[in-house]
Amino acid sequence: MTPSPDALGPAPVPAGDPAPAASGRPVPWVAPVLYAAVLAGGLYYDVVGAVPPPPAEVAVFVAGLAALSGLDVLERRRYRVRTPRGPAAALAGVRLALFVVVTAADPAGLSRVLFVLLPFTAYFAFGRRVAVALAAVCLGLLTVWFSIAVPGWYTNSAYVSDLLMFVLGLVLAVSMAAVAVGEQESRTRLEHALNEVEESHTRLSRYAERVAELTAAEERNRVAREIHDSLGHHLTAAAVQMEKAEAFLDRDRPTAERALADARSSAARALEEVRHSVRALRGETVPFRLPEALADLVRHLDGTRPRVTLETTGDESGYGAAALSALYRAAQEALTNALRHAEAGRVAVSVTCGDEEARLVVTDDGTGLPPGPWEERGVGLRGMRERVRLAGGAVAVTSEAGRGTTVTVTVPRRPGAV
């Protein structure tokens, strides 16, 4: 079954046909000017002519021009931009009949100029080819009319001049229609381009707002991770040392004093972390060395439970600051969890910087994690995963109740990283 044209969408515009316009009709003044000129010329000839025409003939002449004017007004009201092809063909037939009536009732002969309106109006509805064909038809009809009404007309210079002027009028009418259609198409393309620019500007504004929202959210998440991983770790260590000092205050004063000293040291380190973060926000970055940072982290835990050992191998020079920072923060989070929650006796920290990836392994002999997804076991583990993922790495956590926990973090070595 062949689908209907409507089902297939709008038909393509043939080559040479005008594209639908987005604004009003082009050159709407041409037809009224011609009607007025023909009316003025005909009435003037009736007044100054040697033989006045019958009143009925004058009435038909005026009525025909009035009908043409009314027809144009109705068409513009009904079709404000462009007349569809079906109604345009019907209107062309009506106009042709009225042109014949007006021309027959015009003794001055000026009404023949009205026929140039046929190809002129056809250009807007049907395109250049139909307009040129109608112009040729009008020229042929006038030639046939001269041949029937005035035998030997081609020997009369007045008729030959009229025919040449008619040809010139046809050429000018088709040319004017082509220029008008081209101008209207250019204006339509410009309007479309302006609309697209405006829509693009609106979309870009929305994208910019969305990017700002995402950037702000990412910055909030980053600050939250920094607060948890840096301040959280040192404050946790300080809290543990103060609890130890309180427990040994009456039984072992030297141990209590050493615990208080360690608590003060952790508080000082927390303050240093705050200062480091402020310098980073101001762009005052300093070189980061993972082995030194991990050794310093383990050294400040020395003498506390659990016992922490550290092993570092490989060359970190091929890894970016984001990757090294992710490994450091992961080790810090794993040690904090072992210190606060795992009740571990020993924790082993191992870092290997290979040619393709760096691997951090933190193993404790504590109570292990409760059953369930490890990603849901607190803000710290979730922040660890986010930080490592931003560095292109991965986190794996294995744990058994009563047999400890192992945290494995890998980050890739990227060419050109500094």
| 67-114 pLDDT, tens digit each | 999 998 898 888 887 888 888 889 888 988 998 888 888 877 788 888
pLDDT for res 66: 92
3-state SS, residue 310 = strand
**Structure confidence at residue 360 (pLDDT):** 93
The model carries a pTM of: 0.44
Distance between CA atoms of residues 5 and 8, nearest Å = 5
Rounded CA gap, 145 and 115, in Å?
Answer: 13
Q: Residue 225's pLDDT is what?
A: 60
Closest CA to 381 of 411, 349, 338, 351: 338
d(CA 341, CA 334): 10
In this prediction, the residues of the chain whose per-residue pLDDT falls under 70 are 1-24, 49-50, 216, 219-234, 269, 272, 275-287, 301-305, 342, 371-379, 415-418
pLDDT of residue 5: 38
* pLDDT at 265 (0 to 100): 72
Structure tokens at 322: 């984001």
DSSP string for residues in 368-408: -PPSS-GGGS-HHHHHHHHHHHHTT-EEEEEEETTTEEEEE
Q: What's the rounded Cα separation, in Å, for the pair 225 and 326?
A: 11
CB atoms within 10 A of CB 88: 19
Tokens of 123: 């250009």
Q: What is the pLDDT, as a whole number, of residue 249?
A: 76
